[in-house]
Amino acid sequence: MKHSVKDAQGDPAELHPHDAYLDALVTFAEGNLEIGMTLFIRGTVIAGTMISGRKYFEELSRQMRNASIHGSSDPADLQDVLGRAMMDFANMYPKAGEEPAPGSPPRSFLHLRNARIFQAANHLRSNGQLMRLRLDAVDGYFMGNIE
């Protein structure tokens, strides 16, 4: 595929097509298979468990509902609003075993649970955060996690 100058300013996904095998692994994750993955993205190493987009937003919804929110006149209401908003995103993804509905978001992201970030010899501290990554940003990967 040839790229023109205009292409260079266009959609990054056009310049960096998805890796077919990584795309297949994401399809398995969307089908409810959880896979330990280590990803290489522009010099950064990220390890975690790949989960479906639906699980990602369901877990994010739970986190929002349990978050400590300061500065709001009604923190419980804000927690509920944020939690429901994340569930709206979760419902954009099919349930395990279902086919994506017409109009579902294209598969452009992978989702990690218990994400850990490594740079050079350092491990950035995190409490096993959820992470959403663009598929076209992944430079390399292997199945399994590093410690």
- Higher pLDDT: 147 or 22? It is 22
Q: 146 in a domain, yes or no?
A: no
How many independent structural domains does the chain possess?
A: 1
Q: 6 in a domain, yes or no?
A: no
pLDDT band at 2 (very low <50, low <70, confident <90, very high): very low
Q: 9 in a domain, yes or no?
A: no
Measured in degrees and rounded to the nearest 5, phi and psi for residue 43 equal: 90, -5
Q: What pLDDT, on a 0 to 100 scale, did the predictor assign at position 38? A: 95
Q: What's the domain range around 107?
A: 17-141
pLDDT digits (tens, 9 = 90+) for 73-100: 666 777 888 888 999 989 888 888 888 8
Residue 143, pLDDT > 80, answer yes
